Amino acid sequence: MLLGLLREKEGVACSVLASQGVTYQRARAAIIEELRRGEGMTPPAPGA
């Protein structure tokens, strides 16, 4: 959901996140890193 909100680039949620320095790219990278730490989890392919 977070990535969907950021991808929209409009709306209150996106504005609030952007004001805190959250970008789609940074959020996606952080999510992938957390998935890599998970046991048996495979991160999504680039561009997914």
What pLDDT does residue 39 have?
62
The pTM assigned to this predicted structure is 0.66
What pLDDT does residue 41 have?
61
CA 24 to chain centre: 5
Q: How many domains does the chain have?
A: 1
Is 42 inside any structural domain? no
Is 43 inside any structural domain? no
Is 22 inside any structural domain? yes
What pLDDT does residue 35 have?
83
Closest to 22 measured CA to CA, from 33, 9, 34, 36: 9
Is 47 inside any structural domain? no
Is 27 inside any structural domain? yes
Is 48 inside any structural domain? no
Place of tokens 């997914």: 48
Is 33 inside any structural domain? yes
- Tell me which residue range forms the domain holding 25: 2-37
